[in-house]
Amino acid sequence: MLMSDPRLDELIEEFSFLDDWEERYRYVIDLGRTLPALEEGERVEVAKVRGCASQVWLVSSTDTQTGLIEFRGQSDAAIVQGLLAILVRLYSGRQPNEILALDAQAAFQALGLGDALTPQRSNGLKAMALRIQDVARDAQAGLQT
């Protein structure tokens, strides 16, 4: 289910100016360039996202006062880095329940990217979104204990 979300609405507006997949593809790559690189010590095995053909590292931190979760990540593939940038933009700085309510697949469909991704990239996107959801579930469980 896709709920109205200001961050997603902003991305939809940005993508609405792009006429074809080639322009969207370039924009996704440009978004990836905006992600700050992870420190070498963060690019470790435990941070790797399984299910991605390229290498993807995703790290998170939870503010103990507010419960907000921040995500940061990096990939060795330009298009995947861009997809990761979109996920980070959509999910960072949210409460676990907000993260769990936002459907990444529906968001990418709304951006006009869902059908344009290769099956391999779609699987990678699902794996990254599942990792984000797992972090949110773990944080939520920790908040409720």
What are the residue numbers of the active site? 52
Cα 136 → chain centroid: 13
Cα 114 → chain centroid: 14
The helix-helix angle for 78-91 and 6-16 (nearest 10°) equals 140
DSSP 34-49: TSPPPPGGGSSGGGBP
